[in-house]
Amino acid sequence: MPPIGPSTDTVTGAEVVLAGLDDEQRTAAQAVSGPVCILAGAGTGKTRTITHRIAYGVHLGAYVPEQVLAVTFTARAAGELRGRLASLGVGGVQARTFHAAALRQLRYFAPRVLGGPLPGLVENKLRLVASAASRARLSTDRTSLRDLASEIEWAKTTLATPEDYPARAQAAGRELPFEAAAVARVYESYESAKQREGVLDFEDLLLVTAFTLEEHQDVARQVRAQYRHFVVDEYQDVNPLQQRLLDAWLGGRAEVCVVGDPNQTIYSFTGADPDYLLGFADRYPDAEVVKLERDYRSTPQVVGLANKLIGQAPRRKGLPGLRLLGQRAEGPEPVFREHPDEPAEAAAVAARCRELIDAGLPAAEIAVLFRINAQSEVYENALTDVGVPYVLKGGERFFERPEVREAVVLLRGAAAGGNEPGMLVPTVRDVLASMGWVEHRPPPGGAARDRWQSLAALVDLAVDLVSENPSLDLAGFVAHLAERADAQHAPTVQGVTLASMHAAKGLEWDVVFVVGLVDGVLPIAQSLSRPEAVEEERRLLYVAVTRAREQLTLSWSLSRNPGGRRSRPRSRFLTGLAPESAPTAPPARRREKKQKVVLEGEAGELFERLRAWRSQAAQSASVPAYVVFTDATLQAIAESRPSSLRELSGLPGIGARKLELYGEDVLATVSG
Ligand code: ATP
Ligand code: MG
């Protein structure tokens, strides 16, 4: 305990913070100084413990908030940390990704150490890699270029130079697109091209920041005086480059708290190494090491499935068993569903989302998780069809969307014109209204809905901030937006989250659909030849299932396209978890039956005509009927009898694509 005498008030604040933790978590939180390591499974409160530990330290007076740097790996996870700290009443703590933290420091020190402003950043390596490859006389295509870029990234994150690369790649069992020596030549040529153009890539940001701290005493002194306490979440996924930066920040001090779960290591293909986590106690023999077992996130049913799944992995040497003990009340059993094809799988998920939302669950409490981003589109279409809003991967690029940029410019202009206290929310609404935004009236589907949602998120943010700080004015709001944009901290947009399993790390939802579980997708085809790569895929599924608080559905489809051969085997990881033959009962169809009975009279008659039209349309396009329109959509059409495309477009399940394909036909059917 630090020798600082806290006032009675702060003791109360600190005690309140501790009251939210169990005994083991409290032990970790109370160790406010010196090295701390929490090694524990999913949902056991690691992130909760570090945020409470920071809040406790601040309340106690042991930490100056601005001197705490909490780092993690994705912008969303950093946002999650900031959100949790804010709700504990702690402001001023820096919670960032490694990249964002490095970028900020380097931008500040660039004039001193690089002799000018921060060089431009390479957003996408492919252009430079392509010209480096052609200089190395390699003939490449899109895939091999992407592989080359990944190899360069791997080399840089594992601190391998072009000279080291061939031996290191071989030792690590990398699968290379070309001979190692050729890859090394491309790597070297890529580095010189970058230097000639005077630009930095993302790895350089970390590397240059670390070098600067190692080489420039004055900069190191200043940075180390600024940051005195370090916390790393998801430490199992730290790579050698990030570790080097962390060591440079620490400069030999031991004020570091790391938390992680070796069973959630999902970035080793990019150079992450769980040995930093597992070896922490050896590197810091006086570390407080805490193990947590109680899972507070998920029902015992979800926890049971997670334990079984990870229990089937071969035990790694030196890895402590991290079985989870479910703490929550009983919930529904996880559901397994097999579908004929991907649109059917997506339609079933979308229909279930619709039901849950209609029953009162906020859309933001639902997530659909998939292995690769390309799987997202079919879900975007299916959700649009049933009128359910969605958010892609949490919109890390929120502040770069054109409508958000425009709104920020307008808000800034309005702020320059004067700031009336107490008028923040109405003013924000007025400014957005001048862009054509109408509250409570989201346009159906597509880009227009995305735009509406981005702007709605800005209003929601203003409302939230005012509830925390009623005197916040427009200038304060604009400054807050600039800060968030800098940290890539997107506000919450109401909608079902569509995210890759990688992007879902650290997050949680009441209802989670893990979709597309076929062999060749999960485990992904490229991993199949290497057992350790397949194990990483298993951990990825473990990450995905442990995101669910209450309801978990795992599904797969036998063919990709409607009418295709139903030959895809379900994921091997489901063996022993799912019943041998899982029921095929897409809720979409159950719903159809229910609705058939509801319609009577004229609407019923039109509904039947629409169905007849639909089966023809479906036949000529060789797709199942519900891919054309679901019964819910036909019902809405039959009830509202739209007479124009505009009216039709206002109905649930009618996106721009459907309007174009079927709009005229539907209107003709309605008018008889
Ligand atoms: P992951 O490995 O997935 O990142 P984690 O170990 O970081 O998980 P948290 O996200 O911190 O787990 O906690 C999971 C959930 O359990 C959160 O909703 C958190 O608020 C809740 N929780 C954790 N500890 C407690 C506790 N002692 N009492 C009540 N709720 C808790
Ligand atoms: Mg966590």
Q: How confident is the model over 532-586, as pLDDT tens digits?
A: 899 999 999 999 999 999 999 999 999 988 888 888 999 999 998 988 775 554 4
Q: How confident is the model over 267-303, as pLDDT tens digits?
A: 988 899 999 999 999 999 999 999 999 999 999 999 9
Ion ligand 2: protein residues whose beta carbon lies under 5 Å: 46-47, 506
Atom from ligand 1 closest to the CA of residue 547: 3
Q: How far does Cα 523 stand from its chain's mean position?
A: 20
Please identify which residue in the block is written with the tokens 């094809």: 341
Q: Where in the chain is the domain with CATH 1.10.10?
A: 120-197
Q: Where in the chain is the domain with CATH 3.40.50.300?
A: 8-102+207-292, 335-394+495-574
Going by DSSP bridges, is the β-strand pair 335-341/325-326 parallel, antiparallel, or unpaired? unpaired
The first and second tokens of residue 344, run together, are: 């059917």
Calculate mean pLDDT across residues 216-232: 95
Q: Where in the chain is the domain with CATH 1.10.150.80?
A: 594-671
CATH class name, domain 594-671? mainly alpha
The answer to which of 32-36, 185-189, 402-406, 443-447 has the lowest mean pLDDT is 443-447
Which pTM does this prediction carry?
0.77
CATH class name, domain 335-394+495-574? alpha beta
Which of the ligands is closest to the CA of residue 306? 1
- In this structure, the residues whose C-beta lies within 6 A of any atom of ligand 1 are 21-22, 25, 40, 42-48, 261, 264, 296-297, 506, 508, 546
Average pLDDT of the chain is 87
CATH code assigned to 120-197: 1.10.10
Beta bridge partners of 295: 326
Which ranges of 227-341 does DSSP label H, i.e. alpha helix?
240-250, 275-278, 280-283, 300-311
- Would the annotation count 20 as a binding residue? no
Task: Judge whether residue 409 has pLDDT over 60.
Answer: yes
CATH code assigned to 8-102+207-292: 3.40.50.300
State what percent of residues in the chain have pLDDT above 70.
92
Which residue lies with its CA nearest to atom 8 of ligand 1?
A: 43
Q: Which residues of 294-307 are buried (b: 16+ CB within 10 A; e: fewer)?
A: bbbbbbbbbbbbbb
Helix or strand holding residue 552 (H, E): strand 548-559
Which residue lies with its CA nearest to atom 9 of ligand 1?
A: 45
User: How many A from CA of 95 to the centre of ligand 2?
Assistant: 14
User: How many A from CA of 234 to the centre of ligand 2?
Assistant: 7
Q: How confident is the model over 479-493, as pLDDT tens digits?
A: 888 877 766 667 777
Beta bridge partners of 551: 511
Name the CA radius of gyration of the chain, rounded: 27
The helix/strand/coil state of 93 is coil
Q: What is the pLDDT of residue 347?
A: 96
Residues 517/499, Cβ–Cβ less than 8 Å: no
Distance CA 661, CA 665 (A): 9
Atom from ligand 1 closest to the CA of residue 22: 27
Task: Judge whether residue 656 has pLDDT over 80.
Answer: no
- Would the annotation count 86 as a binding residue? no
- Would the annotation count 79 as a binding residue? no
Q: How confident is the model over 588-626, as pLDDT tens digits?
A: 443 333 333 356 678 888 888 998 888 888 777 766 677
| C-alpha dist (Å) from residue 668 to 199, 424, 600, 613, 655 | 58, 48, 21, 10, 18
Distance CA 66, CA 229 (A): 10
| C-alpha dist (Å) from residue 376 to 346, 349, 506, 555 | 10, 12, 20, 14
Task: Judge whether residue 395 has pLDDT over 70.
Answer: no
Q: What is the pLDDT of residue 318?
A: 62
Calculate mean pLDDT across residues 39-46: 94
